[in-house]
């Protein structure tokens, strides 16, 4: 009986990865840059205590190759030199707009209040979001992302990988990021989008107003990307921009504790997902967890026969083949054994962080 459940779990995983990856690899990018590259765009960035990152990365946003855009940076009650850094940039770049939120005027504990202030201050109808610790792959980021807007498409999901220096923490973060990306991109391509990444997402002001901004989940610290997408997809078509020139890179968490807190905060929004997403995401997590639990059980009780070993080997080969292209694209050197270890760490952390988030009453935005 345990062997049969093991086979079913592996079959579900293979089907799951297969259905998503086929869509991702064979999707045709429909960007019409020649016909749609003059859209007036407001880039919105929220910054809290980000003076060093702003000095390093903000010029790469301000110097994008686009004929008409502004960059709205919200200083979200920073206690470091962020405000002075932004004032320096404001003297050099006329298309930089500074919004300053004083500590005594901050009304929400998370990022959403700052985002709403930035959107209110933006002058253009097309909005593109990123973070202060991010940098685009090319100077075509704005042009190529926003070229996907059309009359019935008001939401664009971008790709946002992390830098990787091949430490174990970086590999864990990269593996989790790739797995999440496969899911949210694949789901969107199957026309059931459920989330985006706030470091690289675009939408129209009209769509933002249609869904009432972040009003339905303003009390939740996180969710400016996934919960917003959950509401927005009821009103618009969604496009995924997979062009490598639009990748938005950022630094990974610098400690295991930072990574844990970040992911726990993100998982706290899962309870508001639609039922169809709960079912599919739950099936993915449950089948992966059941696979490892049954494999451990069969090994401990010496019941792992040849067919179970072959099935397990097939599972890990599937992971290797599925992730090979992404590892190559993100310059990751993940061999067979490392992928097996990272996949086990991934599911243990996922379950633990999800359980911990249920017990967390309030989270704070970095």
Tens-digit pLDDT profile for residues 19-43: 998 888 887 654 454 556 679 999 9
Bridge partners of 42, per DSSP, are 70, 127
Tens-digit pLDDT profile for residues 276-293: 888 999 999 999 999 999
Q: Strand order in 237-240's β-sheet?
A: 96-101, 69-76, 41-47, 126-131, 201-204, 153-157, 237-240
CA dist., res. 11 & res. 16, Å (int): 8
Average pLDDT, the chain: 86
Tens-digit pLDDT profile for residues 295-317: 888 888 767 778 888 888 899 88
Tens-digit pLDDT profile for residues 163-172: 887 788 988 9
User: Which pLDDT band holds residue 206 (cuts at 50, 70, 90)?
Assistant: very high
For the segment 228-237, the average pLDDT, to the nearest whole number, is 90
For the segment 108-126, the average pLDDT, to the nearest whole number, is 88
Q: What pLDDT score does 365 carry?
A: 44
Q: What pLDDT score does 27 carry?
A: 76
Q: What pLDDT score does 188 carry?
A: 94
Tens-digit pLDDT profile for residues 43-102: 999 999 999 999 999 999 999 999 999 999 999 988 999 999 999 999 999 999 999 998
Question: Which phi and psi angles does 136 have, rounded to 5°?
Answer: -80, 155
Distance, C-alpha 135 to centroid of its chain: 15
Could you tell me which of 294, 269, 288, 341 has the C-alpha nearest to residue 182? 288
């Amino acid at each position: 009986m345990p062997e049969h459940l093991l086979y079913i779990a592996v079959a579900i995983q293979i089907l799951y990865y297969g259905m998503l990856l086929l869509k991702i690899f064979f999707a045709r990018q429909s960007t019409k840059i020649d016909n749609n590259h003059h859209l007036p765009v407001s880039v919105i960035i929220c910054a809290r205590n980000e003076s060093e990152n702003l000095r390093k990365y903000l010029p790469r946003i301000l110097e994008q190759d686009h004929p008409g855009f502004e960059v709205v940076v919200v200083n979200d009650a920073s206690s470091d030199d962020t405000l002075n850094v932004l004032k320096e940039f404001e003297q050099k770049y006329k298309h930089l707009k500074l919004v300053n939120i004083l500590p005594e005027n901050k009304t929400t504990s998370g990022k959403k209040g700052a985002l709403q202030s930035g959107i209110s201050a933006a002058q253009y109808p097309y909005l593109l979001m990123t973070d202060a610790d991010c940098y685009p792959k090319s100077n075509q980021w704005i042009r190529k992302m926003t070229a996907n807007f059309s009359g019935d498409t008001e939401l664009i999901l971008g790709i946002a990988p992390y830098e990787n220096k091949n430490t174990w923490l970086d590999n864990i973060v990269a593996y989790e990021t790739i797995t999440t990306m496969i899911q949210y991109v694949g789901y969107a391509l199957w026309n059931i989008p459920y989330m985006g990444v706030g470091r690289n997402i675009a939408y129209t002001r009209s769509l933002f107003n249609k869904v009432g901004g972040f009003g339905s989940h303003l009390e939740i610290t996180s969710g400016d990307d996934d919960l917003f997408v959950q509401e927005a997809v009821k009103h618009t078509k969604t496009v995924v921009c997979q062009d490598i020139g639009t990748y938005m890179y950022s630094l990974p968490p610098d400690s295991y504790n930072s990574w844990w807190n970040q992911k726990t905060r993100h998982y706290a929004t899962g309870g508001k997902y639609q039922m169809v997403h709960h079912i599919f995401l739950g099936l993915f997590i449950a089948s992966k967890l059941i696979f490892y639990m049954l494999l451990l059980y069969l090994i401990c009780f010496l019941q792992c026969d040849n067919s179970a070993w072959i099935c397990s080997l097939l599972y890990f080969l599937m992971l290797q083949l599925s992730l090979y292209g992404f590892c190559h694209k993100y310059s990751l050197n993940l061999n067979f054994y490392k992928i097996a270890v990272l996949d086990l760490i991934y599911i243990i952390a996922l379950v633990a962080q999800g359980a911990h988030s249920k017990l967390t009453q309030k989270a704070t935005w970095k």
